[in-house]
Amino acid sequence: MNARGVLFLLFAVVGVGLIYWLTSSFLNSAQQPQQQVAAQQAPSVQVLVTAKPLPLGTILKAEDMKWRNWPREGLDPTYPVKDKIKMTDYIGKVVRTSMAFGLPILKQNIIGPGEKGFIAAALRPDMRAITIAVNPTSGVSGLAYPGDRVDLLLSHVVRLTDGKSHSVTETVVQNLRLLAVGQRINDQAKQPGKPGKTATLEVTPKIAEKITLMSRLGSMQLSLRSLATNDPEGTGDMPIDAVITRTWAEEISPTIPKRKAVESSKRVRIDRGSNTQEKVFGDDSGDGVTDNSKSGEDNETPE
């Protein structure tokens, strides 16, 4: 075969290949819309899934869940399907196993009010539940719901170094998660119910001790926090046991005598034989306690 024949054969092979490639590309582009339409028309159901990552102890709210189309073929029988359950059936339940975004919310991963271990499941690791007595006023008139965040205020009377008693209110702990109000654990009531007589809070072991002592010192009041200032993930960026602020009675009315200013904040104990004398000096703000003198073996100040 001469060179002219070889060149002609080469062009013929290239031409056939080019025609095949163009034909395949055209057919594929034509089939893609048909495949997409077929996929859209494939039988599917709506499954209840997580709308965001849900850590252990989350009290489910409507915004934590959403419906998602799921292929009916190969559907797990344990998945929550819309024609069998309602989203409201899951509101108020607690996540007992951390779940990532977009996963079906299985019954074995949640626990509902009234079930054994519900409050224990709602607690984050190393946290405790403590219940305090409230009334319509101290309990925010029943408008604080489980899952909300609250501050805890203490109103009490203290005796300072000026020898007088002064009334003060302090925000002792902040950003506590409200677990239950009375026996109400669901936060999705359509209408506010009767104010509960108790409030159950999620606290650290140390704060549980403080709250127990606070109930003996004076009266406590819940203060509802804005959702914009909460720390729902418990990152620790906002300390919950720091005294944020305090208000003295003299700040409310000018008719109330002011606290006596003092120069230092020191506690001194003087031992003279069997006699022990303790003197307390307040700080610059006037906070302090009364001088306290004791004598005799029965009145010795402990180490």
Q: Let me know whether 166 and 284 are in one domain.
A: no
Query: Residue 52: is its pLDDT beyond 80?
Result: yes
Q: How far is CA 62 from the centre of its chain?
A: 16
State how beta strands 149-159 and 165-181 pair: antiparallel
Which residues are 221's β-sheet partners?
153
Calculate what percentage of the chain has a pLDDT beyond 70.
65
Angstrom CA distances, 27 to 14, 18, 39, 40, 127, stand at: 20, 14, 18, 20, 63
Distance CA 156, CA 131 (A): 20
* For the ranges 15-19, 50-54, 196-200, the one whose mean pLDDT is highest: 50-54
Q: Which domain holds residue 288?
A: 266-299
Task: State the chain's mean pLDDT as an integer.
Answer: 76
Distance CA 201, CA 133 (A): 11
Distance CA 123, CA 131 (A): 14
Q: Last residue of a domain, which of 118, 137, 167?
A: 118
pLDDT at position 65: 95
Domain presence at residue 281: yes
Of the pLDDT bands very low, low, confident and very high (cuts 50, 70, 90), residue 286 is: very low
Q: What CATH number is given to the structural domain containing 99?
A: 3.90.1210.10
Distance CA 76, CA 72 (A): 9
Tokens of 280: 């307390």
Q: Encode pLDDT of 212-243 as tens digits.
A: 999 899 999 999 888 776 555 544 455 676 66
Residue with the larger pLDDT of the pair 67 and 289: 67
Asked if 94 contacts 121 with a C-beta cutoff of 8 angstroms, the reply is: yes
Query: Residue 287: is its pLDDT beyond 50?
Result: no
Selection from 129, 64, 128 nearest residue 95 by Cα: 64
Domain presence at residue 158: yes
Of the pLDDT bands very low, low, confident and very high (cuts 50, 70, 90), residue 285 is: very low
pLDDT at position 144: 79
pTM: 0.57
Q: Please enumerate in sequence order all residues whose Cβ is within 8 A of that of 77, keeping only pairs 6 or more positions apart, or say none.
A: none
Residue with the larger pLDDT of the pair 240 and 256: 256
Q: Let me know whether 243 and 277 are in one domain.
A: no
Q: Let me know whether 49 and 76 are in one domain.
A: yes
Distance CA 206, CA 176 (A): 13
Domain presence at residue 9: no
User: In which region does residue 182 sit, left (phi positive, over 0), alpha (psi from -120 to 50) or beta (all else)?
Assistant: left
pLDDT at position 163: 76
Q: Let me know whether 156 and 232 are in one domain.
A: yes
Domain presence at residue 14: no
32-51 average pLDDT score? 72
Domain presence at residue 177: yes
Classified as helix, coil or strand, 237 is: coil
Burial grade of 205 (CB within 10 A; 0-12, 13-18, 19 or more): exposed
pLDDT at position 303: 39
Q: Encode pLDDT of 138-179 as tens digits.
A: 666 667 788 888 999 999 998 887 778 889 999 999 889 888
Which residues are 67's β-sheet partners?
48
Of the pLDDT bands very low, low, confident and very high (cuts 50, 70, 90), residue 290 is: very low
* 254-293 core/surface letters (b: 16 or more CB in 10 A; e: else): eeeeebeebeeeeeeeeeeeeebeeebebeeebbbeeeee
DSSP state at residue 81? B
Query: By mean pLDDT, which of 62-66, 141-145, 234-238, 267-271 is the weakest?
Result: 234-238
Task: Write 76-79 long-range contacts (CB < 8 A, 24+).
Answer: 76/104, 78/104, 78/106, 78/107, 78/108, 79/47, 79/104, 79/106
Q: Let me know whether 103 and 131 are in one domain.
A: no
Q: Let me know whether 58 and 82 are in one domain.
A: yes
pLDDT at position 208: 93
Residue with the larger pLDDT of the pair 300 and 68: 68
pLDDT at position 235: 44
Q: Let me know whether 146 and 242 are in one domain.
A: yes
Query: Residue 49: is its pLDDT beyond 80?
Result: yes
Tokens of 35: 């495949």
Distance CA 84, CA 47 (A): 10
Asked if 60 contacts 90 with a C-beta cutoff of 8 angstroms, the reply is: yes
105-120 average pLDDT score? 86
pLDDT at position 300: 41
Q: Which residue has the tokens 């005799």?
A: 296
Distance CA 197, CA 177 (A): 17
